[in-house]
Chains A and B, each alone.
Chain A
Amino acid sequence: MTASNTATVNGQPFRQSRGGHLERSRPLSFTFDGKNYSGFGGDTLASALMANGVKLLARSFKYHRPHGLLSAGSEEPNALVELRTDARREPNTRATTVELFEGLVATSQNRWPSLEFDVMAVNGLAAPLLGAGFYYKTFMWPAAFWEKLYEPLIRRAAGLGRAANAGDPDRYEKAFAHCDVLIIGSGPAGLMSALAVARRGARVILAEEDFALGGRLLCERQEINGQPAADWVHSIESELAALPNVTIMRRTTVFGVYDGGTYGALQRVNDHVASVPEHQPRQRAWRIIAKRSILAAGAIERPLVFGNNDRPGVMLAGAARTYLNRFAAMPGQKVVIFTAGDDGWRTARDAAAAGLHVEAIVDRRPDVAPDVTASSGSEARVILGGRIMNVSASHGVRGVGILDRNGQRTTISCDAVFMSGGWSPTVNLTCHLGGKPQWNEAIAAFVPGAKPAQMIVAGAANGTFALGQCLRAGAESGGAVASDLGLAGGPIECPKADDEPVAVTPLWYVKESTGLAFVDFQNDVTAKDVGLAAREGYRSVELLKRYTTLGMATDQGKTANVNGLAMLAASRNLDIAAVGTTVYRPPFVPVAIGALAGHHRGKDFRPTRRTPAHDWAVEQCGVMRESGAWLRAGWFPKGDEDWLAATSREVEATRNGVGVCDVSTLGKIDIQGSDAATFLDRVYCNTFSTLPVGRARYGLMLREDGMVMDDGTTSRLGQEHFLMTTTTANAGPVMQHLEFCHQCLWPDLDVQMVSVSEQWAQFSIAGPRAQNVVSRLVDRQHDVSLSAFAYLGAREVSLAGGCPARLFRISYSGELAYELAVPARYGDAAARAIMMAGEAFSITPYGTEALSVMRIEKGHVAGNELNGTTTARDLGLARMMSTKKDYIGRVMAGRPAFLAEDRWDLVGIKPVDRTARIRAGAHFIGIGEKPATERDRGYVTSVAYSPTVGHWIGLGLLNAGRKAIGSRMRAVDLLRDSDIEVEICDPVFVDPKGVRLHG
């Protein structure tokens, strides 16, 4: 293997000539900072860069210190790059988790002008000034300088990468999956537990963050059943893949645990290819619903905290093994190992086996078991009870300063340092529902405490580090879960593997360190910062975190937190257990915003509701506008008419001839039962039990708090059969309210209801000629003459020789009017039939704007007045509130404030200067008064240009408004510099006696 030290494999100087789990037959080219490199299939961006000898990958957040790789996994705090370009640029991407693909483009970030020479590194010189929380103590004078000077500088310097420069062109999906057992992680414990439950028939989902199954087994030179561990992985993988009840999800990170056995998972479907294939998503966000889960997420190694421990070339000892063994890449040539436990010795052994020169093994423990020291298999100098005080380096490691147990200082030159502070079980997912991990002194690590119901933890995630134990724990956990699920079968045979030594004696901080000793690498939090926070009173872990930003970087402190809180504990003379951890929050790893949105973006953000006659309206040149979820025609311009001209024409055509409007969006609720009338009496403030069959009545519905909830007409189609209409906006809420009233308040009433909003298309046919149109439209046997079918009539008719329909003589416009309802499938045909029947009378389609103008002309209230803060009395509808019965809202409508003399009333307004335009949202101020809150008398709710009266009109809510009718106020719109004198008038502008609607 030593030969590979000098050989260059495929142009990769730091690639071993054989070994690793690479597809060497699949060379891949890529660029970093514009330079071309090559790697192999099976590489990560990190391992490929290492193989190419690229050590400097990033700059830290605050001091812009040069950083290389710390880890080989998703815990990486250092090696963040911008991946891809332009609209697909992904800032802050961990090079350690990027699967290499042909043509990959990566760029370093947060540096200027270049990664090698970064001007902002000057911050490092000012480190004594820029300690934890320095910004809370300065930048306060003068106050105005914060927004103008200090903050813009800070904002420009902060952040890491740059966001994409345009909308994300890729697609995302969301999906649900259900299973008996979700297994998280496919290392030795995960694979064994999968096998144990799958063989007993459970529906299993095995989720693995990596692109290959195996976890640490891919990274270690270990044997299982006498064969290389990776071969064992392949055999298990084959068995699982062949089972129909097992779904293996690679590249899938379970990022969060939610209530009811719900797990959030992100599947990176196409992040490992240059471009997303057509009809496929880039990523898929899963909600996995699992009866049980087995967490086998492994553990994360801790760095040691010593001077300049963040320099490129200083990395975790386990990560070094990953690069050596899995990727056949060489993290250095002359290395020093600094360890607090047995684990570092394994790295020494593997490094030597790969041909690296292990210059020294520095173990902080004075006494190390002989079998461990013997296992290193290297000629390295062994320094027991020693510690590294400092790394000398610029962009790469040059050597280390060591203090031995006798106080002797030595310098050893090297180009890499592999450190092992012990391993922290990946307990994150056990904490997402509020569980707190427990400190286990024996293994010097936090292990799962209270776990989510139905979750068990196996292997290293549970603090069981040795391979043999992990395999057994997996088999036992799987067996226990299978039995718990009542599945037949017994325990499975556990393969043979050694239990490697895993002893550790933690060392939280080398206090003899010279230079800055980092706890949180990405956020530049040093050991001194932790001490300062404690000294200044930020003594809870949460305050420490928030004051120093420890653990607030993109890795959320995966490698930093335990060291930091242990140091806090030491400074407060407390046990680590007493200090505890900060709260582990989802997601376990950062999740793309686009993935959680799925396809709900752009036009598909929310469903678009179209009425059955939508196409007809479009053909009529209707300008389709959003009305809640609906699209409705606002107006139907002819020629070059603007909205106002078109609307006015539609209003005049309707008031002088006949118009038609699609009102299908109204809520329609079919209510039946022997107590239907009683029910309506209770939910409406006016009475419906007296309504004769074949008649319609305007109804006003209050909330229990006395405010108006909704209005509409309800018709009695039979003795026990009513059809209620609601406003478009309240169709859903009213349905829910009625169901509440029935099921929760009066379940004894014999009444059933169902929404039929979507079953019926409905058209308003309004105007003096409406009857002519209707009589041509309905089949001849139905007498719809004005006398036979009077105002507020409601009846079933037929059209076109038998098409069922309902006809209501109700009017929103104030004209002689009908609403004609047909089954939704005939909606389009009905619209065309109405146009044909009306052709002789020049029937004019009108939109929601004309509808609104006519209702304002008639003083009818709509959404702007039914805003949840108006009572029936406010709206001039007090006469509708029955005094003879109980109904929802009756009592609370009588609250003193609602009856106050100066409470607002609905009024009409006209500009004194008839050419002036009033604006909705203007406030009422008295003539000659200075506009101010204490002189605010109310506001303009709705306005319209009325072609009927020839000027702008409006409705408003004015304090003591009814008494003010006939007087003058101002409608003041300070936002738009408008101040208009208005006459206060009755809200009905057109036909106040209601003559026209009788025809």
Chain B
Amino acid sequence: MKYSVFSLLSEAIRGGTGWTPAWREPEPKSQYDIVIVGGGGHGLATAYYLAKEHGLKNIAVVEKGHIGSGNVGRNTTIIRSNYLLPANTPFYEWSLKLWEGLEQDFNFNAMVSQRGVLNLYHSDSQRDAYVRRGNAMRLNGVDAELIDADGVREIAPMLDFHNARFPIEGGLLQRRGGTVRHDAVAWGYARGADQRGVDILQHTEVKGFMIENGRVFGVETSRGPIKAKKVGLACAGNSSRVAAMAGLQLPIESHVLQAFVSEGVKPLIDGVITFGAGHFYVSQSDKGGLVYGGDIDGYNSYAQRGNLYTIEDVHEAAMALCPSFGRLRMVRHWGGIMDMSMDGSPIIDKTPLEGLYLNCGWCYGGFKATPASGWCFAHTIARDQPHTLNAGFRLDRFATGHLIDEKGAGAQANLH
């Protein structure tokens, strides 16, 4: 059913008895044209765009848990396109453009909120790096502004401008950046895909691949074998484990990134602020909680939780940036498992196995990429070749040297 003011009003009168399931819970068919492995944001978006943009009907998404149970449900909800390298910038800008029209497109309010993303700098060399980045954005038609310390003070007067160990000298601002209600993205795509005939198979775990002569023709699942002409993997966090079932070893390590939320308070900060002198970024949700995080813990992990060293490091940076946070309380912290790739950038590509497509390596930038990732992966699967937007996200770029290394950290996954 279509969501609107009218449906809300009429259901209010009827006591809400007429609301129908947002998606079906179908039985698996024995065969689909395309099976997407992973019912998170990227997998559901891929199915949605396969149906919507490429007119494909016979699609299933298989998910070992419930939809949105991975990183789309445990991130810090930030969207932005403030990337430096030409292989990234157009892709993330396309993603931001899709975000901007997403809710009307899939008739679900995901609270896409462009309240701005401000990256602070604290030294001349940081400023120079942000200028380079901001200019790369502007060359691509992306909005970017350089502001000085007074400009920062106007946006965020509560920051430490008086006694900071690393004084705030200014910032790079992308006003079109912001936040999105993360769970709702999974739900909106799921509902949209379902309405277009996609079977969303929850609690269906992939146990293996059907492979013959270098060609994938289906998946073995906890609910039986499912044949497919094409199989797409969109299971970041677990990419290595799933790809290993198809005999592939990926340039990826799984790492835990922690995130935090505080008790709800009245509006304190408007947009997203990142601290340039420590590992910290923060925004405030519509519900009032500060949503914040920092660096990955640094060790391989599949455990969706981290340790106190990183927790304290994040809170130290929080207090260094904004001393009036001191008496607010952190109410919950959690961890998500990141596909950390060897250059910090993702992979959306075909694989050496015919019929098997790969979407992985999002590091901790996957959420903002969700629409474009689904859009490009759908294109790559449907047309059997990458779109120009994801042409750089190749699996073989590590061998050829066509790296997409925004940080310059090199082939060490936990430094990206």
Contact = CB atoms under 8 A, between A and B. Distances in A.
A–B direct contact (CB < 8 Å): yes
A926 interface: no
A895 interface: yes
Contacts of A539: 66
Contact of A896 (B101, B132, B400): B400
A596 B330 contact: yes
Interface string B92-125: 0000000011011001111111110000001101
A138 B410 contact: no
A895 B411 CA distance: 14
A155 B123 CA distance: 34
Interface string B126-154: 01111111111011110011100000000
Contact of A922 (B131, B264, B330, B411): B131
Nearest to B127: A921
B163 A974 contact: no
Interface in A246-291: 256, 258-259, 262, 264, 285, 287
Interface string A163-190: 1111110101010000000000000000
Contacts of B184: 136
Contacts of A606: 165-166, 277-278, 320
A707 B327 CA distance: 45
A128 B9 CA distance: 9
Interface in B252-268: 262-268
B134 to A, nearest CB: 5
A532 B288 CA distance: 25
A705 B410 contact: yes
A592 B329 contact: yes
Contacts of B305: 432-434, 585
Contacts of B145: 975
B287 A585 contact: no
B86 interface: yes
Contact of A158 (B15, B21, B287, B334): B287
B4 interface: yes
A923 B135 contact: yes
A135 interface: yes
A976 B146 contact: yes
A973 B135 contact: yes
B139 A974 contact: yes
B283 to A, nearest CB: 12
B22 interface: yes
A594 B327 contact: yes
Contact of A174 (B129, B312, B407): B312
Contact of B399 (A554, A895, A975): A895
B324 A546 contact: no
A452 to B, nearest CB: 11
Which one of A134, A138, A143, A975 has the greatest number of beta carbons of chain B within 10 Å? A975
B331 interface: yes
Nearest to A534: B21
Interface stretch (A12-20, A333-341, A759-767, A931-939): A931-939
A128 B12 contact: yes
Given A89-B327, A542-B66, A897 B403 contact: yes
A479 to B, nearest CB: 31
A128 B8 CA distance: 9
Interface stretch (A221-229, A563-571, A861-869): A861-869
A35 interface: no
Interface residues of B, number: 119
A921 B135 contact: yes
Contacts, number: 353
Contacts of A707: 408, 410
B377 interface: no
Interface string B284-314: 1011100000000000000111011001100
Nearest to A91: B265
A160 interface: yes
Contacts of B138: 931, 974-975
A161 B131 contact: no
Contacts of B248: none
A936 B277 CA distance: 29
B3 A136 contact: yes
A918 to B, nearest CB: 12
B339 interface: no
A600 B319 contact: yes
Contacts of A156: 266-267
A939 B411 contact: no
Contacts of B249: none
Contacts of A61: 264
Given A896-B400, A974-B138, A535 B326 contact: no
Contacts of B244: none
Nearest 9 Cβ contacts at the A-B interface: A868-B408, A921-B131, A168-B326, A159-B288, A895-B401, A594-B326, A167-B323, A897-B401, A590-B329
26 contacts: A128-B12, A136-B184, A136-B188, A158-B286, A163-B265, A163-B266, A167-B324, A168-B319, A172-B326, A433-B305, A536-B22, A546-B73, A597-B326, A600-B319, A602-B163, A602-B323, A605-B317, A606-B165, A626-B167, A705-B410, A707-B408, A895-B399, A920-B128, A921-B127, A921-B131, A972-B135
